[in-house]
Structure 1
Amino acid sequence: MKALVLAPVLFAFVLGSLAVAEDARPQGQIPHSALLKTEGARELHDVPYVTGGHERQKLDLYLPAKNGSLHPVLAWIHGGAWEAGNKDFCPAKVLLAKNYAVVSIGYRLSQHAIFPAQIEDCKAAIRWLRAHAAEYDIDPNRIGVWGESAGGHLAAMLGTTGKMRDFDVGENLDQSSAVECVIDWYGPSDFAHYGNRPPNMDPKNAYARLIGGLPTEHLDQVKRSSPISYVQADAAPFLIMQGDKDPIVPAQQSEELDAALHKVGVESTLRIVSGAGHGGPAFVSPANIEAMSSFLDHHLLQSQSGAGQ
């Protein structure tokens, strides 16, 4: 298996600017490392994936130079507690050098619409990509997703609900919203069992704002917003990375999702990052970079039969 050639230097350089706690990174700031260009690449910004939709229902496309072949796709979903952050910062751009097409998905935040608007938007973006695959020389059968924190939660939702249509609304409904693989960086997975700190005590916390009120009063939303609720044998392969000192998302969330995937026979690898919190430099250690590179290469570069078929 060919590992990402640029992993030791360039991949680490770009990811290093991501690996900080998301509340410590200025929202909307694009570090110099994310501005790296690849010769012949094209960038298309603020492309609407919903006709006449909300200003957040747009995506950015980063396309490698045309080479006569279809490009596998990695979609990035930003974090920000479902109420902050944006698509401008896209660490996945480095994969242009490996002939990946890269997409950064914007989605409505909780102040714009409560759940399930966020996963409906992400699914609409994936369907839009498939509907426009020929236009952008992308392979509709090789689409993976990577997200951090709230984005990790949405990536996990995509990975576990690919074969169901409950969250598929709007346009391009003839297209699948399934993905080929998922990289989940410390995303919540089960809001009904949230360690020793259940997110149900404060109506002003981020999760309450996401689901429209206290979890104890919206149990249907708690189950509906938990990726673990949808785990079954046709889920996408997962690579889950989680800090064991995370003060925001307990490590138990990733451990239980990994166990649930294994129980139904789905490929899942859990990498507990020792000493790490909610992000941090340890996430981009050489070993973790190699694990991510190999995972993506295996499921997107080498795979020819995709989730969208």
Structure 2
Amino acid sequence: MVPVRRLHLSRSTAALAVEWMRDPGNAEKYGIDPNRIGAFGGSAGGNLVALLGTSGTGALTTGSRVAAVAELSGPVDLRASGLVNAGDGLTRITCEYLGCDNINRCAQSIDASASSRLDRSDPPVFIGTSSDEFIPVSQSRDFAAQLDRAGIRAELVVVPGFLHSIGILDEGMRARVAAFLHAELGR
């Protein structure tokens, strides 16, 4: 698995990509509306886009901020308390990913958990998951509740079954994600 320094590099790379898209020369050249940038990802990519959405404060139309996030099966809480309902496999993978020997003594897990970084300036979030998959559905439900308590619009869709990430991206889920992004970013 990827050590924690790669986690920071990946998140920084995502932030740099948003800043690059927002640069006036690049926005004009590629027809990008710098006020309508959203992020979508599944599984580990869901973790990264959730982190991107919860990084920074202030306007969602400047710097590396995004105006909407859509994530499928993203592990949004990598702290020991967020992995209580997880199987040993997910806890082991998380430790390897973060470079920790024990999830109960893993300081990196806080920074790697979007659920520990929320503030009222964060963008709306679409959360898609399945009821019996690898990432505990409690993570998605808890994240949606945290977003709601912070006054951040969240849409949670839980589908039956055990499919993970793009496995749940059938026609219906694609339509729900697209509708959410269109509503939040404008058509």
Structure-2-length-normalised TM-score? 0.85
Q: CA deviation at 1:208?
A: 2.0
Aligned pair 1:183/2:70, yes or no?
Answer: yes
CA contact (8 A) 1:199 1:208 kept: no
Q: CA deviation at 1:161?
A: 1.4
**Aligned with residue 136 of structure 1, among 30, 49, 67:** 30
- Root-mean-square deviation over aligned CA pairs: 2.4
Q: Which residue number in structure 2 is paired with residue 268 of structure 1? A: 154
Cα distance change on mapping 1:143 and 1:272 into 2, 3 Å: same
**Equivalent residue of 1:141, what SS?**
coil
1 CA distance for matches of 2:140 and 2:100? 24
Q: State the one-letter code of the partner of 1:278.
A: H
Percent of aligned positions with the same letter in both sequences? 27
Aligned pair 1:157/2:27, yes or no?
Answer: no
**Which aligned pairs between 1:7-86 and structure 2 lie closer than 5 A?**
83=1
Give the gaps of 5 or more residues in structure 1.
Answer: 1-82, 84-109, 165-174, 303-309
| Alignment deviations for residues 174-220 of structure 1 (CA, whole Å, 9 cap, x no partner) | x6110010111010111122133376997xx43223222223332x2
**Equivalent residue of 2:64, what SS?**
coil
Cα distance change on mapping 1:206 and 1:276 into 2, 3 Å: closer
2 CA distance for matches of 1:201 and 1:188? 10
Aligned pair 1:258/2:144, yes or no?
Answer: yes
Q: Which residue number in structure 2 is paired with residue 278 of structure 1? A: 164
Higher helix share: 2
Q: Which residue number in structure 2 is paired with residue 241 of structure 1? A: 128
2 CA distance for matches of 1:198 and 1:161? 28
**Which aligned pairs between 1:91-110 and structure 2 lie closer than 5 A?**
110=2
Structure-1-length-normalised TM-score? 0.53
Higher strand share: 1
CA contact (8 A) 2:39 2:66 kept: yes
CA contact (8 A) 2:73 2:130 kept: yes
Q: State the one-letter code of the partner of 2:186.
A: L
Q: State the one-letter code of the partner of 2:37.
A: I
2 CA distance for matches of 1:280 and 1:135? 31
Aligned pair 1:295/2:184, yes or no?
Answer: no
1 CA distance for matches of 2:99 and 2:167? 34
1 CA distance for matches of 2:140 and 2:148? 12
1 CA distance for matches of 2:39 and 2:104? 31
Cα distance change on mapping 1:112 and 1:263 into 2, 3 Å: closer
